[in-house]
Amino acid sequence: MSVETGEELAKFNESKKHGGDGWWKQPKTVWAVAFAAMVSFMGIGLVDPILPAITEQLNATPSEASLLFTSYLFVTAIAMFFTSWVSARLGTRNTLLLGLGLVIVFALASGLAPSVPWIIGFRAAWGLGNALFLSTALATIIGEARTVDGAIILYEAALGVGMAVGPLVGGALGSISWRAPFIGTAVLMAVAFTTIAVLLRSTQTLKGNMPFFAGFAALRKAPLLSFGLIAFFYNMAFFVILAWTPFPLGFKAMGIGLVFFGWGAALAITSVFGAPALTARMKRTTVIGWGLGALLICLVLSALLVHSTVGLIIMMIVSGLVLGIMNTVLTESSMESTDLPRPVASSAYSGIRFLGGAIAPPLASTIAASTGQAGSPYLFGALAVVVALVLFFCLRGPLSAANHAPAEDELEQAEALIGDAN
């Protein structure tokens, strides 16, 4: 995006006030990055349908299989704290391409791996590429888009579509072999790599020196830290649903893929339409509070209905509707509650967000193994949501920063965004 005159800056400022209106009216570069982000998120969801197959064919336990999530998400989370430093030196385009390149190499390696420990290791390296790409992608979409809220809606929609299509692709290819989804992801990421290389021509860098620990330092901002802590425990619940549900469902790969396609589709729909509709009528913090309460109910009911296939599928779809709203509103709130540069805020929030997701899968499967109760992981997820709710009520002061963007600051925020994009 290039805005060079005062008149254009005024138009940008005016468009920003409309939040998510016309979120689909974005430059080609934004759509290119969003497409690549969607494919990257597919890499998370495609593992779900093949978890039982990997467990059976490679003689792994559910806890070992859950490490396919943990190794990937843990490295993703830690690396995300440093992505703003990397992108400041390499430029956004080069950082995006480096991340995609790493994903291509290690997704292919995962598909050719001889055993579970090898897959776990390759998934960890895959997570490094994922971190470089996703955190930079969020900052790039915000910087290049016409509206901040619209950009975030598009990013979270990419997450939802990726989460929907990933399990479907995983199920379809997983019915051939558990290796096929990994190889298929490498092919799709190669398409995304080509798209970014062709459509994102420029290589912007942040002005000034970017400290190596900028992502961690950003957490000194009370609003960002507050939203990050809530996102940490919220994401624990999110990934309990994602990583544990394939086991009690008891379906083959394609059946699991179809269920998670419905879950991801519900998530995508409310990310795009539900979240803007609610935030237009209520404060963001109000939406977050109600969303956490609804998620708590979904998890408790999932624990109670775990032996009912129909009941568990219904709760999956309902939870997807709730998660779509929460993803968008939490991301909007964290990005707009401070005056930090977007790449720095994105690094910090994304890092702490994915760290919660990394911790949850092995804990959930360990709890299930120790209790012998298939519903216990959902109760663990419910406990994480309770902690998030306690934090929500204790941190209302810092969280309230997301409820208003003073009119006098609008031009300054627009100038900051434009400065990042030039």
- Is the domain spanning 6-421 CATH 3.40.109.10? The answer is no
Question: CA 21, CA 43: separation in Å to the nearest integer?
Answer: 30
Q: Which of 142, 199, 188, 133 is nearest to 165 (CA)?
A: 188
- Between the alpha carbon of residue 379 and those of residues 7, 189, 218, 241, 412, the distances in Å are 55, 36, 32, 11, 45
234 burial via Cβ count (<10 Å: 0-12, 13-18, 19+):
buried
pTM value surpassing 0.75 = yes
Q: How many CB atoms lie within 10 A of CB 62?
A: 21
Distance of alpha carbon 315 from alpha carbon 303, whole angstroms: 10
CB under 8 Å to 243, separation ≥6 — which residues? 48, 51, 66, 69, 360, 361, 364, 365
What is the per-residue pLDDT for 300? 96
d(CA 197, CA 190): 10
The tokens of 348 are what? Answer: 């910090």
Give residue 221's identity as a one-letter amino acid code: K
Q: How many CA atoms lie within 13 A of 98 on its CB side?
A: 16
**pLDDT given at position 204:** 55
Residue extents of the structural domains in the chain: 6-421
Question: What gap in Å lies between CA 413 and CA 337, rounded to an integer?
Answer: 12
pLDDT in the model for residue 379: 96
The dihedral built from the CA positions of residue 259, 168, 79 and 66, taken in this order, carries a sign that is positive
The dihedrals phi and psi of 176, each to the nearest 5 degrees, come to: -85, -55
**What are phi and psi for residue 113, nearest 5 degrees?**
-70, 145
Q: Are 236 and 372 in contact (CB under 8 A)?
A: no
Q: What is the DSSP letter of 203?
A: -
CA dist., res. 153 & res. 132, Å (int): 21
Q: Are 162 and 46 in contact (CB under 8 A)?
A: no
Question: What does pLDDT average to in each consecutive run of 10 residues of the chain (422 residues)?
Answer: 38 44 68 82 73 76 74 84 80 88 93 87 90 79 71 77 81 83 86 84 58 76 88 93 86 84 88 87 92 96 93 94 92 81 78 86 87 91 96 88 54 36 35
Q: What is the spatial distance between Cα 163 and Cα 161, in angstroms, rounded to a whole number?
A: 5
Nearest alpha carbon to residue 51 among 68, 74, 39: 68
